[in-house]
Amino acid sequence: MTTKLMDTPIGLAAVKKLFRCLCGNLPLPFRCPYTSNELANVKLGLVSVGMGKVIGNNFAMESTTIDIKRFFNRSLGLPIDSQTILNSLFYKIMDSIVEVAIQKKIYNGGITGTKSA
């Protein structure tokens, strides 16, 4: 998937869905390739950069408002392994959102311009 979709409503929907999945409120739309320990480390990392909080034994989003630029900027403060996992999950979720939109015929990829030589 191209990065041009990140700062769009599709990218924002992917970030929101990612957090709902990490909070346990929604299953991932694909088989998760990561262990529960790896996901726990990602959640702890999100807490350490101010994007999540622990309430009892549960992980929750720090805020109900998510800004995609802030999400990616703060994710740079995570360890590389956690960045890799978080980005992988984000892109897989974004791809699944696009696939559903294509199936429902509500996705418009837009017009891509090319420069002449």
pLDDT the model gives residue 37: 92
pLDDT the model gives residue 61: 80
Q: DSSP letter at 5? A: G
Task: Answer whether residue 110 shows pLDDT above 80.
Answer: no
Confidence of residue 107 (pLDDT cuts 50, 70, 90): confident
Residue 92 Cα to chain centre, angstroms: 8
φ/ψ of 112, rounded to 5, equals -105, 125
Residues 38-76: tens digit of each pLDDT: 999 999 999 989 888 888 888 888 776 777 888 889 899
Using only C-alpha atoms, the chain has a radius of gyration, in whole angstroms, of 15
pLDDT the model gives residue 115: 63
Nearest-angstrom CA–CA distance, 20 and 58: 12
Task: Answer whether residue 2 shows pLDDT above 50.
Answer: no
pTM: 0.80
Give mean pLDDT, residues 15-29: 87
Domain extent listing, the chain: 3-103
